[in-house]
Amino acid sequence: MTLQDQRVVVLGGTSGIGLATAQLAAAQGATVIVASSNPESVRLALASLPGSATGTAVDLTDSAAVAAFFTGLDPFDHLVFTAGEALTLLEVGTMDLDRARAAFELRYFGALGAVSAAVPKLRPGGSVVLTTGAAADRPGPGWSVAASICGAVDSLVRALALELAPLRVNAVKPGVVRTPLWRGALEYDETARHLPVQRVGEPEDIAAAYVYLMNQPYATGSIVSVDGGHVLV
């Protein structure tokens, strides 16, 4: 199956996993619309996408801005949410609860708000693909907040799959991926040595899972792990 003649909105689609997903969807014939908070990032992303692609700078933590963004769109087939910020690793003993609450704003409430605003514009037979993370299943010290966000998204996917049926709702659960969000958080070569696949992920590896879920008409409430075997070790 392909995404020929379908319209795909990728929030966070201007760098890393989101941009790779937009590029792969476009390669399958989709018209892509990307959005992120950084206008320069939007400009650079559009330079790497087909001329049919469009992009907008939107603060995805601003519910009014998100609502206005979707109001201005024509109906579309798939919503992908890959937006994120630098990883928030917080030790419990020195926990900054304001930072912990802020970490949920984009990755959880941003995703929930985007789905709420997008639903009226999603065509029958369409889908939503959110982003969670391997930390939900195998966290380490300092990962209590990040793991909680991922666990919350896991539960959100299952609940929305029932509430929004027959619209399909799924998620991708990446492990360590070579993107700006991970830069400085981990040593890639050291991490790779501990993974069964002996390397960290690339954005293109993860993008394939988002496109698979958009194309898979019988998947809903599914969370697809693409983590190089992280949860096994």
pLDDT in tens, the chain (233 residues): 789 999 999 999 999 999 999 999 999 999 999 999 999 999 999 999 999 999 999 999 999 999 999 999 999 999 999 998 877 788 898 988 999 899 899 999 999 999 999 999 999 999 999 999 998 999 889 889 999 999 999 999 999 999 999 999 999 999 999 987 766 666 788 889 999 999 999 999 999 999 999 999 999 999 999 999 998 88
What one-letter code names the amino acid at 76?
A: F
pLDDT at site 182:
66
pLDDT at 173: 97
SS3 content of the chain, % helix, strand, coil (to 5): 45, 20, 35
> Positive or negative, the Cα torsion across 8, 168, 202, 142?
positive
Determine, yes or no, domain membership for 2. Answer: no
Number of structural domains found in the chain:
1
Domain of 91, CATH number, reads: 3.40.50.720
Give the span between the Cα atoms of 186 and 193, in whole angstroms. 13
Q: Residue-wise over 104-125: b if at least 16 C-beta within 10 A, else e?
A: bebbbbbbbbbbebbbebbeee
pLDDT given at position 183: 65
pLDDT at residue 72 in the model: 97
The boundaries of the domain holding residue 186 are 7-232
What is the pTM for the complete model shown? 0.95
Question: Helices (H) and strands (E) in the chain — how many of each?
Answer: 8, 7
Give strand pairing partners of 34.
Answer: 10, 55
In a domain, residue 74? The reply is yes
Q: Is residue 219 part of a domain?
A: yes
CA neighbor of 170 nearest in space, from 106, 218, 202, 204: 218
Residue 1 lies in a domain: no
Distance CA 33, CA 9 (A): 5
pLDDT at 185: 61
